[in-house]
Amino acid sequence: MLIRYIKQTSTFSFMKWRVAALMLSVVLTVASIALVFTKGLNLGIDFRGGLLLEAQATTPIDTSAVRATLATLNLGDVSVQNFGAPTDILIRAELADPKQQTATVERIKQALPTTFEYRRIEFVGPSVGGDLAQKATIALLVSLLAIVCYVWARFEWQYGVGALVALLHDVITTIGLFALLGLDFDLSTVAAILTIAGYSMNDTVVVFDRVRDNLRKYKKMPLLGIIDQSLNETLSRTIITASTTLIAVLCLYFFGAATTAAFSLAMIWGILIGTYSSLYIATPILQYCGLKARTEQTVISPA
Protein backbone atom coordinates (compact mmCIF):
# COMPACT_ATOMS: atom_id res chain seq x y z
CA MET A 1 0.00 0.00 0.00
CA LEU A 2 2.83 2.41 0.81
CA ILE A 3 4.53 1.83 -2.54
CA ARG A 4 1.22 2.32 -4.34
CA TYR A 5 0.63 5.55 -2.44
CA ILE A 6 4.05 6.90 -3.40
CA LYS A 7 3.52 6.00 -7.04
CA GLN A 8 0.18 7.75 -7.29
CA THR A 9 0.68 10.89 -5.22
CA SER A 10 4.38 11.83 -5.07
CA THR A 11 5.17 15.23 -6.53
CA PHE A 12 8.79 15.71 -5.52
CA SER A 13 10.59 18.47 -7.38
CA PHE A 14 13.81 16.59 -8.16
CA MET A 15 15.02 19.07 -10.75
CA LYS A 16 14.84 21.90 -8.22
CA TRP A 17 18.07 20.58 -6.73
CA ARG A 18 19.77 19.60 -9.99
CA VAL A 19 22.47 22.33 -9.86
CA ALA A 20 23.43 21.56 -6.26
CA ALA A 21 23.44 17.83 -7.02
CA LEU A 22 25.66 18.27 -10.07
CA MET A 23 28.08 20.43 -8.08
CA LEU A 24 28.23 17.73 -5.40
CA SER A 25 28.91 15.12 -8.08
CA VAL A 26 31.73 17.21 -9.53
CA VAL A 27 33.31 17.50 -6.08
CA LEU A 28 33.01 13.74 -5.48
CA THR A 29 34.46 12.92 -8.89
CA VAL A 30 37.40 15.33 -8.59
CA ALA A 31 38.13 14.14 -5.04
CA SER A 32 38.06 10.50 -6.20
CA ILE A 33 40.50 11.18 -9.04
CA ALA A 34 42.77 13.11 -6.66
CA LEU A 35 42.75 10.22 -4.17
CA VAL A 36 43.69 7.71 -6.86
CA PHE A 37 46.66 9.81 -8.01
CA THR A 38 47.85 10.87 -4.54
CA LYS A 39 47.05 7.99 -2.21
CA GLY A 40 46.81 5.31 -4.88
CA LEU A 41 44.94 2.01 -4.93
CA ASN A 42 45.80 -0.90 -2.68
CA LEU A 43 46.14 -3.42 -5.48
CA GLY A 44 45.48 -7.01 -4.49
CA ILE A 45 47.63 -10.01 -5.27
CA ASP A 46 45.57 -10.56 -8.44
CA PHE A 47 47.28 -7.49 -9.89
CA ARG A 48 50.58 -7.32 -7.97
CA GLY A 49 51.41 -10.99 -7.88
CA GLY A 50 52.18 -13.07 -4.80
CA LEU A 51 51.19 -16.12 -2.79
CA LEU A 52 47.78 -17.23 -1.61
CA LEU A 53 47.39 -20.01 0.96
CA GLU A 54 44.14 -21.39 2.33
CA ALA A 55 44.54 -23.32 5.58
CA GLN A 56 42.19 -25.12 7.94
CA ALA A 57 42.50 -26.05 11.61
CA THR A 58 40.46 -28.15 14.01
CA THR A 59 39.83 -25.17 16.32
CA PRO A 60 39.05 -21.49 15.64
CA ILE A 61 42.13 -19.62 14.41
CA ASP A 62 43.37 -16.41 16.00
CA THR A 63 44.12 -14.27 12.95
CA SER A 64 45.96 -11.66 15.03
CA ALA A 65 48.40 -14.28 16.33
CA VAL A 66 48.95 -15.64 12.82
CA ARG A 67 49.53 -12.13 11.48
CA ALA A 68 52.06 -11.40 14.24
CA THR A 69 53.90 -14.66 13.53
CA LEU A 70 54.14 -14.01 9.80
CA ALA A 71 55.35 -10.43 10.45
CA THR A 72 58.57 -11.88 11.87
CA LEU A 73 59.34 -13.54 8.52
CA ASN A 74 59.75 -10.17 6.72
CA LEU A 75 57.66 -11.24 3.74
CA GLY A 76 56.44 -7.74 2.97
CA ASP A 77 52.73 -7.04 2.73
CA VAL A 78 50.85 -9.96 4.32
CA SER A 79 47.07 -10.22 4.60
CA VAL A 80 45.47 -12.70 7.02
CA GLN A 81 41.70 -13.15 7.26
CA ASN A 82 39.13 -15.77 8.11
CA PHE A 83 37.75 -17.58 5.13
CA GLY A 84 34.21 -18.76 5.78
CA ALA A 85 34.27 -20.67 9.09
CA PRO A 86 36.42 -19.52 12.05
CA THR A 87 38.59 -22.60 11.50
CA ASP A 88 39.50 -21.52 7.97
CA ILE A 89 42.07 -18.88 7.15
CA LEU A 90 43.28 -17.16 4.00
CA ILE A 91 46.85 -15.85 3.77
CA ARG A 92 48.03 -13.50 1.03
CA ALA A 93 51.70 -12.59 0.88
CA GLU A 94 53.90 -10.60 -1.47
CA LEU A 95 56.61 -12.42 -3.33
CA ALA A 96 59.42 -10.20 -4.55
CA ASP A 97 61.32 -13.05 -6.20
CA PRO A 98 59.18 -15.63 -8.03
CA LYS A 99 62.07 -18.13 -7.78
CA GLN A 100 61.57 -18.18 -3.99
CA GLN A 101 58.01 -19.44 -4.26
CA THR A 102 58.61 -22.90 -2.80
CA ALA A 103 61.03 -21.63 -0.14
CA THR A 104 58.54 -18.96 1.00
CA VAL A 105 55.72 -21.47 1.28
CA GLU A 106 57.92 -23.72 3.42
CA ARG A 107 58.87 -20.81 5.68
CA ILE A 108 55.20 -20.00 6.24
CA LYS A 109 54.36 -23.63 6.98
CA GLN A 110 57.21 -23.93 9.48
CA ALA A 111 56.22 -20.73 11.27
CA LEU A 112 52.57 -21.73 11.69
CA PRO A 113 51.21 -24.59 13.84
CA THR A 114 51.66 -28.09 12.43
CA THR A 115 47.95 -28.72 12.94
CA PHE A 116 47.15 -26.51 9.96
CA GLU A 117 45.97 -28.33 6.86
CA TYR A 118 46.73 -26.43 3.66
CA ARG A 119 43.85 -26.88 1.27
CA ARG A 120 44.97 -24.49 -1.46
CA ILE A 121 48.26 -22.87 -2.48
CA GLU A 122 48.31 -20.50 -5.45
CA PHE A 123 50.95 -18.27 -6.99
CA VAL A 124 50.40 -15.26 -9.23
CA GLY A 125 53.50 -13.91 -10.94
CA PRO A 126 54.03 -10.17 -11.50
CA SER A 127 53.66 -10.52 -15.26
CA VAL A 128 50.41 -12.43 -14.85
CA GLY A 129 49.15 -9.79 -12.43
CA GLY A 130 49.97 -7.04 -14.90
CA ASP A 131 48.19 -8.91 -17.67
CA LEU A 132 45.12 -9.34 -15.46
CA ALA A 133 45.12 -5.62 -14.66
CA GLN A 134 45.28 -4.76 -18.35
CA LYS A 135 42.48 -7.16 -19.26
CA ALA A 136 40.33 -5.93 -16.37
CA THR A 137 40.72 -2.34 -17.58
CA ILE A 138 39.83 -3.32 -21.14
CA ALA A 139 36.79 -5.28 -19.93
CA LEU A 140 35.60 -2.28 -17.92
CA LEU A 141 36.01 0.18 -20.80
CA VAL A 142 34.41 -2.13 -23.38
CA SER A 143 31.41 -2.78 -21.14
CA LEU A 144 30.87 0.95 -20.55
CA LEU A 145 31.14 1.65 -24.28
CA ALA A 146 28.69 -1.14 -25.12
CA ILE A 147 26.15 0.19 -22.59
CA VAL A 148 26.40 3.73 -23.94
CA CYS A 149 26.05 2.52 -27.55
CA TYR A 150 22.93 0.57 -26.59
CA VAL A 151 21.33 3.61 -24.95
CA TRP A 152 22.32 5.81 -27.88
CA ALA A 153 20.77 3.38 -30.39
CA ARG A 154 17.58 2.86 -28.38
CA PHE A 155 16.92 6.51 -27.58
CA GLU A 156 18.66 9.66 -28.87
CA TRP A 157 22.22 10.92 -28.55
CA GLN A 158 21.31 13.13 -25.56
CA TYR A 159 20.32 10.03 -23.62
CA GLY A 160 23.63 8.38 -24.53
CA VAL A 161 25.57 11.34 -23.16
CA GLY A 162 23.53 11.27 -19.95
CA ALA A 163 24.15 7.55 -19.54
CA LEU A 164 27.90 7.96 -20.15
CA VAL A 165 28.29 10.77 -17.62
CA ALA A 166 26.30 8.83 -14.99
CA LEU A 167 28.32 5.66 -15.55
CA LEU A 168 31.65 7.46 -15.34
CA HIS A 169 30.48 9.16 -12.15
CA ASP A 170 29.52 5.83 -10.55
CA VAL A 171 32.72 4.05 -11.57
CA ILE A 172 35.09 6.86 -10.60
CA THR A 173 33.50 7.45 -7.20
CA THR A 174 33.57 3.72 -6.45
CA ILE A 175 37.27 3.56 -7.26
CA GLY A 176 37.77 6.68 -5.15
CA LEU A 177 36.04 4.97 -2.20
CA PHE A 178 38.52 2.10 -2.41
CA ALA A 179 41.42 4.55 -2.57
CA LEU A 180 40.07 6.44 0.47
CA LEU A 181 39.56 3.33 2.62
CA GLY A 182 42.65 1.49 1.39
CA LEU A 183 40.69 -1.66 0.58
CA ASP A 184 42.13 -4.39 -1.62
CA PHE A 185 41.43 -3.62 -5.27
CA ASP A 186 41.36 -6.97 -7.06
CA LEU A 187 39.38 -8.88 -9.67
CA SER A 188 36.36 -9.17 -7.37
CA THR A 189 36.32 -5.37 -7.14
CA VAL A 190 36.32 -5.13 -10.94
CA ALA A 191 33.39 -7.56 -10.98
CA ALA A 192 31.59 -5.35 -8.46
CA ILE A 193 32.17 -2.25 -10.60
CA LEU A 194 30.77 -4.02 -13.68
CA THR A 195 27.75 -5.10 -11.63
CA ILE A 196 27.28 -1.53 -10.41
CA ALA A 197 27.40 -0.24 -13.99
CA GLY A 198 24.72 -2.71 -15.06
CA TYR A 199 22.53 -1.94 -12.05
CA SER A 200 22.82 1.81 -12.50
CA MET A 201 22.10 1.64 -16.20
CA ASN A 202 19.05 -0.57 -15.68
CA ASP A 203 17.56 2.09 -13.41
CA THR A 204 18.53 4.88 -15.81
CA VAL A 205 16.97 3.17 -18.83
CA VAL A 206 13.66 2.81 -16.97
CA VAL A 207 13.64 6.55 -16.25
CA PHE A 208 14.70 7.41 -19.81
CA ASP A 209 11.92 5.27 -21.22
CA ARG A 210 9.35 7.08 -19.09
CA VAL A 211 10.78 10.47 -20.11
CA ARG A 212 10.48 9.56 -23.78
CA ASP A 213 6.88 8.40 -23.33
CA ASN A 214 5.94 11.55 -21.46
CA LEU A 215 7.53 13.73 -24.14
CA ARG A 216 5.01 12.25 -26.55
CA LYS A 217 2.12 12.38 -24.10
CA TYR A 218 2.56 15.88 -22.66
CA LYS A 219 3.55 17.94 -25.67
CA LYS A 220 3.03 21.33 -24.01
CA MET A 221 4.77 20.58 -20.72
CA PRO A 222 8.30 22.01 -20.18
CA LEU A 223 11.15 19.51 -20.28
CA LEU A 224 12.03 19.88 -16.60
CA GLY A 225 8.39 19.27 -15.70
CA ILE A 226 8.37 16.13 -17.82
CA ILE A 227 11.56 14.90 -16.14
CA ASP A 228 10.12 15.53 -12.67
CA GLN A 229 6.91 13.72 -13.53
CA SER A 230 8.82 10.79 -15.00
CA LEU A 231 10.99 10.48 -11.90
CA ASN A 232 7.93 10.55 -9.65
CA GLU A 233 6.15 7.94 -11.76
CA THR A 234 9.12 5.57 -11.50
CA LEU A 235 9.87 6.38 -7.85
CA SER A 236 8.10 3.33 -6.43
CA ARG A 237 10.01 1.03 -8.75
CA THR A 238 13.28 2.74 -7.77
CA ILE A 239 12.52 2.34 -4.06
CA ILE A 240 11.57 -1.35 -4.40
CA THR A 241 14.62 -2.24 -6.50
CA ALA A 242 17.13 -0.32 -4.39
CA SER A 243 15.78 -1.45 -1.01
CA THR A 244 15.49 -5.16 -1.82
CA THR A 245 18.93 -5.28 -3.42
CA LEU A 246 20.42 -3.29 -0.57
CA ILE A 247 19.00 -5.67 2.03
CA ALA A 248 20.57 -8.65 0.28
CA VAL A 249 23.96 -6.96 -0.04
CA LEU A 250 23.91 -5.75 3.58
CA CYS A 251 23.32 -9.33 4.72
CA LEU A 252 26.25 -10.44 2.59
CA TYR A 253 28.44 -7.70 4.08
CA PHE A 254 27.62 -8.34 7.74
CA PHE A 255 27.15 -12.11 7.71
CA GLY A 256 29.22 -13.23 4.72
CA ALA A 257 32.84 -14.30 4.57
CA ALA A 258 35.61 -11.75 5.02
CA THR A 259 36.75 -12.35 1.45
CA THR A 260 33.48 -10.91 0.13
CA ALA A 261 33.52 -7.80 2.35
CA ALA A 262 35.17 -5.55 -0.25
CA PHE A 263 32.81 -6.76 -2.97
CA SER A 264 29.79 -6.21 -0.71
CA LEU A 265 30.92 -2.73 0.31
CA ALA A 266 31.40 -1.78 -3.34
CA MET A 267 27.89 -3.03 -4.10
CA ILE A 268 26.38 -1.09 -1.18
CA TRP A 269 28.01 2.10 -2.39
CA GLY A 270 27.09 1.29 -5.99
CA ILE A 271 23.39 0.87 -5.19
CA LEU A 272 23.27 4.20 -3.38
CA ILE A 273 25.35 6.17 -5.88
CA GLY A 274 23.69 4.43 -8.85
CA THR A 275 20.22 5.43 -7.65
CA TYR A 276 21.45 8.97 -7.04
CA SER A 277 23.03 9.25 -10.49
CA SER A 278 19.84 8.08 -12.19
CA LEU A 279 17.92 10.87 -10.45
CA TYR A 280 20.36 13.75 -10.46
CA ILE A 281 22.97 13.16 -13.17
CA ALA A 282 21.60 11.18 -16.11
CA THR A 283 18.30 13.11 -16.35
CA PRO A 284 19.55 16.71 -15.85
CA ILE A 285 22.12 16.07 -18.60
CA LEU A 286 19.19 15.73 -21.01
CA GLN A 287 18.39 19.41 -20.54
CA TYR A 288 21.99 20.55 -20.78
CA CYS A 289 22.40 18.58 -24.02
CA GLY A 290 19.43 20.38 -25.54
CA LEU A 291 16.75 17.70 -25.54
CA LYS A 292 13.60 19.50 -26.58
CA ALA A 293 10.06 18.87 -25.44
CA ARG A 294 7.84 18.31 -28.45
CA THR A 295 5.45 21.23 -28.37
CA GLU A 296 2.52 21.57 -30.71
CA GLN A 297 2.41 24.48 -33.09
CA THR A 298 -0.86 26.36 -33.30
CA VAL A 299 -1.74 26.99 -36.93
CA ILE A 300 -3.78 30.16 -37.53
CA SER A 301 -5.94 29.93 -40.61
CA PRO A 302 -6.09 33.02 -42.80
CA ALA A 303 -9.27 35.04 -42.50
Q: Is the pLDDT of residue 128 over 60?
A: no
List the CATH number of the domain containing 101.
3.30.70.3400
Give the model's pLDDT for residue 300.
37
The span from the CA of 274 to the CA of 198, in Å, is 10
Residue 247 sits in the same domain as residue 170 = yes
300 falls within a domain: no
Residue 167 sits in the same domain as residue 233 = yes
Q: Is the pLDDT of residue 42 over 50?
A: yes
303 falls within a domain: no
Closest to 274 measured CA to CA, from 189, 175, 183, 204? 204
Long-range Cβ contacts of 274-278 (<8 Å, 24+ apart): 274/170, 274/196, 274/199, 274/200, 274/203, 275/200, 275/203, 275/238, 275/242, 276/21, 277/25, 277/166, 277/169, 277/170, 277/200, 277/204, 278/166, 278/200, 278/203, 278/204, 278/207, 278/238
Domain that includes residue 37, residue range: 2-42+128-288
Give the model's pLDDT for residue 100.
73
DSSP character at residue 115: T
Closest to 57 measured CA to CA, from 114, 136, 103? 114
Residue 32 sits in the same domain as residue 172 = yes
Residue 261 sits in the same domain as residue 172 = yes
Residue 136 sits in the same domain as residue 261 = yes
List the CATH number of the domain containing 31.
1.20.1640.10
pTM here? 0.75
Tens digit of each residue's pLDDT (9 = 90 or more) over 153-196: 888 888 888 888 998 999 999 999 999 988 878 778 888 888 88
Q: Is the pLDDT of residue 303 over 70?
A: no
Residue 205 sits in the same domain as residue 60 = no
What percent of the chain lies above the pLDDT cut of 90? 11
295 falls within a domain: no
The span from the CA of 89 to the CA of 104, in Å, is 18
Give the model's pLDDT for residue 33.
94
Q: How many domains does the chain have?
A: 2
81 falls within a domain: yes
Residue 114 sits in the same domain as residue 138 = no
The span from the CA of 167 to the CA of 157, in Å, is 15
Residue 38 sits in the same domain as residue 157 = yes
Residue 249 sits in the same domain as residue 150 = yes
Residue 10 sits in the same domain as residue 159 = yes
Residue 82 sits in the same domain as residue 153 = no
Task: Provide the Cα torsion 148, 150, 155, 160; round to 10°.
Answer: 10
